[in-house]
Chains A and B, each alone.
Chain A
Amino acid sequence: MIDWAKAAMPHLIVVPILLPLATAALMLLVAERRRRLRAALNVGSCALALAVAVALLRVVDERGAAAVRVYLPANWPAPFGIVLAIDRLSAMMLLVTAVIALAAVVYSVARWDRAGVHFHPLFQLQLMGVSGAFLTVDVFNLFVFFEILLAASYGLLLHGSGAARVRSGLHYIAVNLFASSLFLVGVALLYGAAGTLNLADFAARIPQVPPADRPLLHAGAAILAVAFLAKAAMWPLNFWLVPAYSAAGAPVAALFAILTKVGVYATLRVWTLFFGIDAGESAFFGGTALAWIGMASLAVASIGMLASHHPGRLAAWGVVISSGTLVAAIGFARPALTAAALFYLIGSTFALAALFLLVELIDRAREVEPQVPLDDVDPVPFSIAYIERPDSNLDEDESVLIGRIIPGAIAFLGLAFMLCALMIAGLPPLSGFLGKFAMLSSALAPDPALAGARVPTPGVAALALVAVLVGSGFLSLVAMSRAGIRYFWAPQERAAPRLRVTETLPIAALLALCVLLTIRADPVMRYASDTAQSLHRPAGYIDAVLTARPVERR
């Protein structure tokens, strides 16, 4: 397979953008009434996108070959034309996106794609925006792909309508429009400071920026960072996320698990390119701020998780926990810590997507229970009435309690919830624990390779990271266990829910991937380390992009 992939390079690089675009266009030619055909096109396209993502990963990860592949879509060389480049980080993000997209679309085929119109084209356009954001090297092209993915996400969030969705959708749109304005201001300032829009060209010019223009550069980068971090749901700009993600439909929320990671990716890419170790006066600018902002978001999200009762809100806060961890780890500028963060990213994104899909099934299984209110105000405490008297083996209807057979569907939901809880809290034996443990050990053991460079002082910040990581694991464990007890152990009389295969298969597949991540942690961790090493030495990426030659006309 890798041979046809290499033969298709470099055009294979643009396939993750063109394939969803072509599929969306094709779907719009098919009437909305023929939903099954659209669904089939969507699933087929997502499966193909997954194959392409795996192929790109294999090509980029080949030992001895160039680790950065560049594509010139308009055949103009680097600073003038828009450039697409794939390195290990982009390939990894594309693969995670493709897996989650396939899981979400298979889930949606059961009933969610019927809730409104044009679900499938919007889904494909969302994938196009996300893939483009992961592949582009031009900062204004990044803005355009951000807008594409945001516009599609507005449509997907509003899918199915209803007061809760529209209200949280309005807030989501307003915050993101403001963040886009900040993005533009940041891009304009960076252009004014260095005269280019290509990230690699920018990074090459940063050491030569005159001292009078350096504050302009820093201001532009900081404003750009605010835009990215608002997208990545950093405190205090993250209050839009929990109502929006908990109100969204299940496959939509599962797909949204990757959107915050786009903000994290943009921060990581721009920060390591611009302010790496050879950026002269600006080396590691803003690293301390990133670390503390990430830790603050992590702390706020853990407390928010503890305060939530509905599993949908738990999952939404879990998304903020995941992004906060990543941004905090990035700010330390240590390859070992970044590698651990990337490993953690994969597992936590899969677990959160599975949890969003699961929450919908749990809600459906609770039809006979009194409903918990679904809006932002969530005042219902843990209900004492559900606790069984410990000295009897009979429930209220005088039928045997211990020894009753649990229906398979409930067992599946309970087991899946438990696995998600283990992943999010970062407990053994799953890969959430491995990622967190790697982060903790890297934080406490400073990287000798960076000795002598201006890094944020490892003392206070690293200890704070350890404390916040452990604390958030504890709080999220408490919150998830409470929800698990309340939704699985406490209810007595409940009919077994009917679960469709198309709904349970994606959840099982995502959780199986989490288990696989644990078993095959070594190759994945090796890949993440290689990625982090090349990120923190950006000279290779910059050279590959700037020296790409256009195809000569014969």
Chain B
Amino acid sequence: MEVVLATAIGVLAASGVWLLLRPRTFQVLIGLSLLSYAVNLFIFSMGSLSIDQPPIVVPGVPHDLQHYTDPLPQALVLTAIVINFAMTALFLVVLLALRGLSGTDHVDGREES
């Protein structure tokens, strides 16, 4: 399972970085989103990767990391998702403003000549 998760994070991050370097603003936005997916999966994977061990306390089971996944990275991921969502919305607004002011969707505001 670790291989699958690592591959997924790698593919998302690589696609995100490649799109981030493209000349069209919408591609940059999608690249930032893919990169944030990769980062969120990465943070999540820093808690122990286990199957069928939700971090919800069951009475009678000892409270340690052998029996539950680590809930802290999940809290970090939630915060990161919320922040990235707001930033993506803001970036989209600025993208539209640049499109309106410069007439083109090139990141530099003018087509390269």
Contact = CB atoms under 8 A, between A and B. Distances in A.
A174 to B, nearest CB: 6
Contacts of A147: 83, 87
Contact of A177 (B32, B42, B73): B32
Contact of B102 (A167, A189, A192): A167
B80 A184 contact: yes
A144 B76 contact: no
Given A154-B90, A166-B94, A184-B80, A174 B32 contact: yes
Interface string B41-62: 0110010000000000000000
Interface string A144-185: 100100010010001001110011011101100110110011
Interface in A217-256: none
Given A151-B90, A181-B36, A163 B76 contact: no
Contacts of A41: none
A64 B72 CA distance: 39
Interface string B77-93: 00110011011001100
B88 to A, nearest CB: 8
Contacts of A140: 76, 79
Interface in B12-60: 20, 25, 28, 32, 35-36, 39-40, 42-43, 46
B80 to A, nearest CB: 6
B8 interface: no
A187 interface: yes
A185 B42 contact: yes
B46 A189 contact: yes
B102 A181 contact: no
Contact of B46 (A171, A178, A188): A188
A174 B35 contact: no
A330 interface: no
A174 B91 contact: yes
A171 B101 CA distance: 15
A474 interface: no
A170 B25 contact: yes
Contacts of B91: 170, 173-174, 177
A288 B87 CA distance: 34
Contacts of A72: none
B111 interface: no
Contacts of B71: none
A545 to B, nearest CB: 19
A171 B106 CA distance: 12
A487 interface: no
Contact of B107 (A151, A170, A187, A191): A170
B42 A188 contact: yes
Contacts of B87: 147, 151, 173, 177, 180
Given A140-B76, A174-B28, A177-B87, A191 B109 contact: no
B49 to A, nearest CB: 11
A191 B94 contact: no
Given A144-B83, A188-B42, A188-B73, A163 B101 contact: yes
Interface residues of B, number: 31
Contacts of B35: 178, 181
Contacts of A170: 25, 91, 94-95, 98, 107
Nearest to A178: B20
A120 to B, nearest CB: 19
A270 interface: no
Contacts of A189: 46
B97 A161 contact: yes
Interface in A76-131: none
Nearest to B94: A170
B20 A144 contact: no
A197 B72 contact: yes
A178 B107 CA distance: 16
A349 to B, nearest CB: 27
Contacts of B73: 188, 191
Contacts of A177: 32, 84, 87, 91
Contacts of A178: 20, 32, 35
A154 B92 CA distance: 13
Contact of A188 (B76, B95, B108): B76
B39 A184 contact: yes
A197 B79 CA distance: 14
A187 B73 CA distance: 10
A197 B80 CA distance: 15
A185 B79 contact: no
A174 B72 contact: no
B94 to A, nearest CB: 5
A163 B102 contact: yes
A173 B102 CA distance: 18
Contacts of A187: 43, 76
Nearest to B91: A173
Contact of A181 (B39, B46, B95, B97): B39
Contacts of B95: 170
Nearest to A189: B46
B43 A188 contact: yes
Nearest to B36: A181
Nearest to B98: A166
Nearest to B83: A147
Contacts of A191: 46, 72-73, 76
13 contacts: A162-B101, A163-B102, A166-B97, A167-B102, A169-B94, A174-B32, A181-B36, A184-B76, A184-B80, A188-B39, A188-B42, A191-B76, A197-B72
8 tightest CB-CB pairs across the interface, nearest first?
Answer: A167-B109, A188-B43, A192-B46, A163-B101, A188-B46, A181-B39, A184-B39, A166-B98
Given A170-B94, A174-B107, A178-B35, 12 more contacts: A147-B83, A151-B87, A163-B109, A166-B101, A169-B94, A173-B90, A180-B84, A184-B42, A184-B43, A185-B39, A188-B46, A197-B72
Interface of A: 140, 144, 147, 151, 154, 158, 161-163, 166-167, 169-171, 173-174, 177-178, 180-181, 184-185, 187-189, 191-192, 197
